[in-house]
Structure formats: C-alpha cells, structure tokens
C-alpha cells in the first residue's frame, strides 16, 4: 500500500477500507508516514468527510495505537463523561462525586485547558497537594477503594491522537466532524468506558458555534459508540454564556464546593443532574432518567456527594482546608466591571469571558504557558438578570496591574445591557441516543 494512493482515494471521495485506515494510523504513529502526507490526507477528509464505518474504524485504530486501560479487573460498569469544552465548565468536578456516591465507579482521565477553554486537571491542581498523576495501579486501587479517581491523561494513551491533533491544529483541519469525533471517542474507548455520556456544547464559547453543527457531531459520536458496542448518549447544551458564575481554577473549585453543599448556580446543577441521571442509566443503577435525576439530586441534599468529593481529594493527596475555611488563595489584584446603564443583561459572551480569564492568567496561550491558579472571573449577573447602573457585573482576579487593565478593557465588549428582558434559551436543547 502507498500513502499517496490513499490520499488520492479520499481526495476523490472514495471510502477507505479498514486495512487502509489501519495502514495510515499505524504508519503515522511509527513515523513511516510523514506530516506532509498526513496533512494532505486530513485536508481530504475535511473536504470529503467519512462514512460511519470509516469513522468507527479510524476511532478503533487510534484507540489501539497505544496503551489501553482494562477496567474489567475492577467491579462495576464504567461510565465516562466527556465535554467538548467550554467556559466555566466544572461539570466533571461536581458530577463525578454525585455519580460515584450513587455507586457508579468513575475512573476518569481529563485534560488541561487551552485557549479560552478551561481544563479539569488545572482546576484540580489549584487544590494544595492534589496529585494529578498516579501510577496505573494506584489509580485502579483508588477507584476500587473510593469509587472515584481523576488523573491527567497519560502520554501513552492514544498517541495517534496526540500527534494528529497537533498537526490538525496547524493545518486548518481541526473543525472536521469525522476527525473531532474519532479524536474524542478514541480516548474514551482507550480509557475503558463501557458507557459514554457526551456533553456536546454549542454557542459562542464552544467548538461548535451552531446547534446544527453540534447535532451533526453528536450524531456522529453516538453512531461510533453504537458501532463499537458502547452505550453512548449525547446531550446538547448551551455555551452562549459561561456555565455557573465562576471562571478560572481555584475560583471554580470554590463554586463546586458550594454546589456540593446545595448552594450551586442553577444552570450548573441542572446540567449535572441531567448528565448524572444519564450516567446512572448507562451504569444500570436505575431504570430511567427520572429515577436517575432523583437519585443524583439527593446526593447534593444529603451530603453524600460532598463526602465523596472530600474522600476523593484526600485520596489524591489534596488538602481542602483553605477552601473549607474560606481562606481562599485567589489572586491579589481585583477589579469590578460596573454596569454602564440600568437594564437587563442581554448577553454575557462566553468566548470573550474565557478570553478575559486567559488574559488574567487563568488559561494558556500555548501548551507550555504557566497559569495563575488564583486568577479568574466571577459573574455577579447572568443573562436576563436586572442590573442597576454602577452595580458590579463582573469581578476580575489577577496578579499584575497590566493584566488587570487589559481585562477591564476587554470586559466592556463581553457584556451587553439593554432595556428589554431577553428570551432565555433552554440550557439543554436535545438528547441524542
């Protein structure tokens, strides 16, 4: 087989066979196929697309390109959740202890943030002492003992995606549904999930700007899951404004602790209850989502989710004392953005707020950037709320005067106040099974 023939086949709209797809992925990981040919192939996929069977084969070939976790050594049915990424998205931190408290074990590998989107591993790193890297045996033992462990994705899991994603990032081939879907699903499959609940976000702060694009991506991923024998469900959720009120790292852990005590923002809690209910169904703990919603909500009311979160953090070496005693280590410089007029908040642009958080130091400009775990943004108001002229809408936290000035300048373009109450769109647009 020659790579040039396979590039031409895809360029001309052909369907690649399983053997051809394996040849491409294996050759690329082993270094026989070089970046220039892989770039041409990715661009051909970008324009021509792939059939469901081709995407499923690509997913499997990528999943098998490195180490795979075998969770069958543990008891229980493993269900994983994946978010396509957003601003203020701390669902993993809140949802995981809720679901684990209901008896569905969570063995999760998460990522770091890049650009305007945050990452679970950075948020957990703001807890003093928390270890985001565990040896495989330690990780499995913790899942066995606590029912919940969250670690940074190991470099050996899906090396094909690591290499291909970096290439796509610089060749204009990231926004391709077959390539995004196979990238996401290969990581879930290599991590041993039997059930997969996907939170596919749409809107200004998401990868997919429109609901239609998010639907297409969700259907493709659910199709891959079905083809590969994994229970897969996708929730389409809005990311026009940030989720919850806190955006950053330590500041999001604070919000999660409040939510675990029943004082969480309504949108964050609603999304976690819905995703949690679907995870309990996929984990065969309940018969239907109605029963699932009731069970996960109860864990917030009776303190079981909070107890599970504390147990999990302690097991990974973290110390929540500062957080629990409200002796927070947020960044020292603060600035409020005040409403210029009285009125209703028309919108708070998620992408722009994510960008402000990054400028303040909470996010990464490049993979190598060091982040300020105490930096971030707090939203006093959300879309549809009334605000008086001069009342604070945003609070910015950072460590240097120049970042503070840049953040405040950007804040003016991220919020719009107007006289008419805007129509609030539903948080969850659709569930795709």
Closest CB to ligand URA among residues 168, 382: 168
C-alpha torsion sign, points 238, 244, 246, 252: negative
Q: Which two tokens stand for residue 9?
A: 């086949």
Only one residue has tokens 């409020």, namely 336
Q: Report the residue number, 187 or 297, with the smaller CB distance to ligand URA.
A: 187
Least CB distance to ligand URA at residue 184 (A): 5
Q: How far is it, in rounded angstroms, from Cα 407 to Cα 290? A: 43
Integer Cα distance of 119 and 126 in angstroms? 12
Q: At what angle do helices 52-63 and 18-30 cross, to 10 degrees?
A: 30
Residue 402 among the catalytic residues: no
| Spatial CA neighbour of 417 closest among 390, 392, 376, 386 | 386
Q: Which of 96, 183, 204, 237 is the catalytic position?
A: 183
Give the closest residue to 417 by CA, choosing from 359, 343, 356, 357.
343
Using CB under 6 A as the binding criterion, the count of chain residues that bind ligand URA stands at 7
| Residue 235 beta carbon to ligand URA: minimum distance, rounded to whole angstroms | 16
Measured at CB, which residue is nearest to ligand URA? 183
370: which 2 tokens? 């060091």
User: Is 82 among the catalytic positions?
Assistant: yes
User: How far is residue 284's CA from residue 60's CA, in Å, rounded to a whole number?
Assistant: 25
Measured from the CB atom, the residue of 37 and 220 that comes closer to ligand URA is: 220
Active site residue 187: yes
Compute the distance between CA of residue 211 and CA of residue 87 in angstroms, rounded to an integer. 17
Q: Of the two residues 58 and 180, which places its CB atom closer to ligand URA in the complex?
A: 180
Identify the DSSP state of 337: E
Task: Single out the residue of 110, 120, 153, 183 in contact with ligand URA (rule: CB under 6 A).
Answer: 183
* Given the residues 10, 123, 162, 187, the one annotated as active site: 187
**Residue 184 interacting with ligand URA (CB under 6 A):** yes
Q: Is 426 helix (H, G, I), strand (E, B) or coil?
A: coil
Q: Which stretch binds ligand URA (CB under 6 A): 131-139, 180-188, 229-237, 331-339?
A: 180-188
- Residue placing its CB nearer to ligand URA in the complex, 58 or 356: 58
Which of these, 56, 58, 43, 20, lies nearest to 35 by C-alpha position?
43
Q: By C-beta, is 166 or 405 nearer to ligand URA?
A: 166
- Sign of the alpha-carbon dihedral angle for 40, 42, 46, 50: positive
Does the protein bind ligand URA through residue 414 (CB under 6 A)?
A: no
Subset of residues 75 to 104 that bind ligand URA, contact rule: CB under 6 A: 84
Closest approach of ligand URA to the CB of residue 366, in Å: 17
Contacting range for ligand URA; rule: CB under 6 A; set: 13-21, 47-55, 147-155, 178-186 = 178-186
193 touches ligand URA by CB under 6 A: no
**Residue whose CB is less far from ligand URA, 89 or 255:** 89
Q: What single string gives the DSSP state of each residue in 256-313?
A: HHHHHTT---HHHHHHHHHHHHHHHHHTTSSSSHHHHHHHHHHHHHSSHHHHHHHHHH
Query: Is-catalytic flag, 161?
Result: yes
Distance CA 309, CA 324 (A): 12
Q: Smallest gap, in angstroms, from Cβ of residue 165 to ligand URA?
A: 6
From the candidates 82, 163, 285, 308, which is the catalytic residue? 82
> Active site includes 351?
no
Cα–Cα dist 17/408, whole Å: 54
Residue among 38, 45, 149, 180 that touches ligand URA (CB under 6 A): 180
CB of 164 to ligand URA, least distance (A): 9
Active site members: 82, 161, 168, 183, 187
Binding site for ligand URA (CB under 6 A): 84, 165, 179-180, 183-184, 207
């Amino acid at each position: 087989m020659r790579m040039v023939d396979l590039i031409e086949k895809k360029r001309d709209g052909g369907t690649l066979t399983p053997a051809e797809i394996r040849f491409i992925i294996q050759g690329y990981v082993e270094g026989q196929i070089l970046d220039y040919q892989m770039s041409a192939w990715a661009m051909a996929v970008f324009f021509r697309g792939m059939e469901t069977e081709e995407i499923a084969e690509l997913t499997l070939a990528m999943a098998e390109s490195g180490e795979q976790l075998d969770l069958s050594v543990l008891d229980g049915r493993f269900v994983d959740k994946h978010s396509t990424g957003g601003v203020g998205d701390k669902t993993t931190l809140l949802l995981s202890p809720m679901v684990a408290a209901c008896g569905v074990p969570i063995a999760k590998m998460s990522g770091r943030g890049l650009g305007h989107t945050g990452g679970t591993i950075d948020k957990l790193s703001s807890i003093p002492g928390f270890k985001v890297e565990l040896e495989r045996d330690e990780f499995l033992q913790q899942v066995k003992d606590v029912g919940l462990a969250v670690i940074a994705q190991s470099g050996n899991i899906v090396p094909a995606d690591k290499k291909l994603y970096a290439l796509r990032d610089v060749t204009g081939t990231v926004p391709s549904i077959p390539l995004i879907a196979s990238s996401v699903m290969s990581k879930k499959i290599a991590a041993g999930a039997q059930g997969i609940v996907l939170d596919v976000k749409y809107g200004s702060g998401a990868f997919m700007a429109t609901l239609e694009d998010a639907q297409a991506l969700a259907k493709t991923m659910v199709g891959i899951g079905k083809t590969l024998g994994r229970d897969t469900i996708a929730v389409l959720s809005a990311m026009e404004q940030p989720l919850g009120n806190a955006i950053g790292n330590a500041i999001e852990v604070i919000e999660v602790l409040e939510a675990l005590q029943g004082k969480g923002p309504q949108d964050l809690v609603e999304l976690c209850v819905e995703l949690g209910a679907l995870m309990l169904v996929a984990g065969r703990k309940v018969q239907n989502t109605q029963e699932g919603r009731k069970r996960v909500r109860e864990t917030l009311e009776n303190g079981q989710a909070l107890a599970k979160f504390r147990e999990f953090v302690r097991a990974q070496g973290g110390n929540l004392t500062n957080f629990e005693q409200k002796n927070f280590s947020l960044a020292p410089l603060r600035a409020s953005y005040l409403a210029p007029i009285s009125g209703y908040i028309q919108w708070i642009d998620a992408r722009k707020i994510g960008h402000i958080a990054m400028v303040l130091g909470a996010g990464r400009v490049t993979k190598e950037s060091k982040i300020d775990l105490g930096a971030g943004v707090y939203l006093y108001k959300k879309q549809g709320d009334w605000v008086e002229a001069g009342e604070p809408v945003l609070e910015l936290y950072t460590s240097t005067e120049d970042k503070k000035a840049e953040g405040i300048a950007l804040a003016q373009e991220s919020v719009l106040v107007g006289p008419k109450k805007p129509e609030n769109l539903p948080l969850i647009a659709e569930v795709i099974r």
